[in-house]
Structure 1
């Protein structure tokens, strides 16, 4: 895995974290327009990042479109990535 691919995965994880946290917050604060804008912007950003990643490196989930041959099983699996940025 090259540095660009790892950076994209880290960015996807960061944006995904924002999506989860803002969704949880909005469950209890549904009238917070600022939080809703943040959530919607993160959602748009996540979709764009996911599309860019999958165009370059293949599917992130087994529910997405795949190239031939089936590429989802290619290594490394997400939990096998060494996130050592030293």
Structure 2
């Protein structure tokens, strides 16, 4: 498998970090549904994640299947590596 550029790993690391924060905030909000500040943080991180995901997918291809990520032309799902392979 070919080595990917440094930006690939940097963006993937940022996405993983934001995903961790979003999971943590979601778990917290399950027990504290009226915490306005936590909801604000969750929404901010969600927006940040969408932007990073779009940037990653524009440069390196889709992250998710089943309509959660767009495909470029030609169909590019067979390109490697998959994010979980790096």
Q: TM-score with structure 2 length normalisation? A: 0.87
Please name the residue that 2:7 is paired with.
Answer: 4
Cα shift at 1:79 = 2.2
Is 1:25 matched with 2:28? Answer: yes
Task: State the Cα RMSD in Å.
Answer: 1.0
1:24-82: per-residue Cα shift (whole Å, max 9, x none)? 1101001111111110110000001011111111111123211122212211122220x
- Superposed structure 1 runs of 4+ greater than 2 Å apart: none
**TM, length-normalised to structure 1:** 0.87
Aligned length: 81
Structure 2's unaligned 5+ residue stretches are none
Give the match for residue 36 of structure 1.
39
**Which consecutive residues of structure 1, in runs of 5 or more, have no partner in the other structure?**
82-86
State how far apart, in whole Å, the 2-side matches of 1:17 and 1:72 are: 25
Q: 1: CA distance between counterparts of 2:60 and 2:80?
A: 11
